[in-house]
């Protein structure tokens, strides 16, 4: 180092940092041989904190303000006081500026599909992605746990680790939710809040705060989405037969269909002719078809079989059950007009008398 460099090195330092990178989390102030001079001015702006490191040990953490480094507990010895070390001070100090603003619009997403059970579609694979926001709340812990001696630490250096934390917890939450896939879109906000609560303590271990996390989309594989689109199309069209008739009618009335329209029209004409023929044939048959037989007895009965209520049955069915000995004289029975259940013989005595006598023993 030249004489003039050494002389200017003894002047009072101005230590400050302004950031225009938008992604720098920690920045070490550059200083020749890490020497901080007596009386140096340290400016810490809002949304910043300064970490003072003396001989590899964090000595102090300073908030926003202007500081004059001249107290006895700070390493502010000048080089000129240590001529026996060739004007190189053995008391080394470093100043790290920590950016405490929010770092927003950080991306997270699943690298591989997540296999989950679905009430409607059995097993499906899902992908999810979104954004999150963080800020440094404990600069000392963040320095010790993450930054170390990195002189320019950016969001990209920790983004992948934080994303892995989010995805690991999101996978567990998604698996435990038991929500149908079709209902997930209405629960993105709940997912976000629940994930934030579960993951925040892990961010705190790094000296960070997870200020917000958003689930932007949960998607299905392309082939499953295509199948859902087809199913939705069928639901929208309603009755398939009516939809076909409507489409063929449109084709018949269109003059822009060309040869294809003519073919569709011909096919539609044949189909309509067949429908008309079937309709006329049905009407002709209906004229010669006798009306249905009148019911002799429209009374319906409920029966207590094996202590279970069965029915209602008409009288023909009741007679069949009596013949098959499913209904006995003491079987409880009820029909409209009765206040309570009664024994079958009290209202159907003649039906039991029609049963043949038992076969004689040989």
Q: Do the beta carbons of residue 117 and residue 191 sit within 8 Å?
A: no
Boundary-marking domain end, from 224, 242, 266: 224
**pLDDT value at position 354?**
65
pLDDT in tens, 38-53: 677 889 999 999 998 8
Q: What is the pLDDT of residues 59-74, one digit of tens each?
A: 889 999 998 876 443 5
Q: What is the dihedral of CA 329, 333, 335, 339, to 10 degrees?
A: 110
Give start and end residues of each alpha helix (H) in the chain.
Answer: 3-9, 139-142, 156-177, 188-204, 222-237, 240-253, 258-288, 315-323, 344-347, 349-353
131 lies in which domain range? 103-224
Residue 20, in any domain of the structure: yes
Digit-coded pLDDT (tens) for 253-292: 555 555 555 555 555 556 566 666 666 666 555 555 665 5
Least reliable range by pLDDT among 75-84, 90-99, 118-127, 263-272: 75-84
Identify whether residues 155 and 110 lie together within a single domain: yes
Of 224, 253, 279, the domain-final residue: 224
Residue 110 sits in the same domain as residue 123: yes
Residues 307 and 333 in one domain: yes
Looking at the 3D structure of the chain, how many domains does it have? 3
3-state helix, strand, coil in the chain (%, to 5): 40, 25, 30
pLDDT confidence bin for 104, thresholds 50/70/90: very high
Looking at 13-99, which runs of residues are DSSP E strands? 14-15, 24-28, 40-44, 48-54, 57-62, 65-69, 93-99
CATH of the domain at 210: 3.30.479.30
CA distances from residue 331 to 307, 317, 318 in whole angstroms, order as listed: 10, 15, 11
Asked if the structure places residue 253 within a domain, the reply is no
Q: Provide mean pLDDT across the span 101-119.
A: 86
Choose the final residue of a domain: 36, 68, 99: 99
């Amino acid at each position: 180092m030249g004489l003039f460099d050494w002389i200017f090195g003894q002047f009072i330092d101005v230590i400050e940092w302004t950031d225009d990178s938008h992604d720098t989390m920690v920045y070490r102030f550059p200083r020749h041989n890490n020497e901080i001079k007596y009386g140096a001015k340290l400016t810490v702006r809002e949304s910043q904190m300064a970490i003072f490191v003396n001989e590899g040990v964090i000595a102090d953490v300073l908030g926003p303000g202007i500081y004059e480094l001249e107290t006895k507990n700070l390493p502010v010895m000048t080089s000129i006081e240590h001529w026996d070390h060739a004007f190189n001070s053995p008391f080394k100090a470093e100043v790290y500026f920590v950016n405490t603003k929010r770092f927003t619009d950080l991306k997270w997403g699943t690298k591989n599909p997540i296999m989950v059970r679905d009430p409607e579609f059995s097993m499906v694979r899902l992908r999810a992605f979104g954004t999150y926001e963080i800020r440094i709340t404990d600069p000392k812990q963040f320095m010790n746990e993450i930054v170390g001696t990195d002189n320019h630490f950016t969001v990209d250096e920790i983004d992948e680790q934080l994303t892995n934390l989010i995805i690991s917890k999101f996978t567990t939450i998604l698996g435990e939710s038991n929500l149908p896939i079709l209902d997930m879109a209405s629960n993105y906000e709940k997912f976000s809040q629940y994930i934030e609560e579960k993951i925040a303590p892990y961010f705190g271990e790094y000296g960070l705060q997870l200020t917000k996390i958003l689930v932007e989309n949960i998607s299905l594989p392309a082939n499953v989405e295509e199948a859902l689109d087809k199913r939705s199309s069928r639901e929208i069209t309603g009755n398939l037969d009516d939809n076909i008739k409507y489409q063929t009618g449109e084709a018949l009335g269109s003059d822009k269909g060309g040869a294809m329209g003519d073919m569709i029209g011909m096919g539609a004409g044949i189909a309509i002719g067949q429908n008309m023929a079937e309709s006329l044939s049905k009407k002709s048959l209906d004229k010669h078809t006798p009306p249905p037989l009148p019911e002799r007895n429209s009374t319906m009965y409920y029966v207590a079989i094996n202590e279970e209520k069965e029915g209602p049955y008409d009288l023909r069915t009741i007679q069949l059950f009596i013949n098959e000995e499913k209904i006995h004289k003491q079987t409880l029975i009820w029909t409209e007009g009765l206040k309570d259940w009664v024994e079958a013989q009290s209202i159907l005595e003649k039906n039991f008398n029609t049963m043949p006598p038992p076969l004689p023993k040989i």
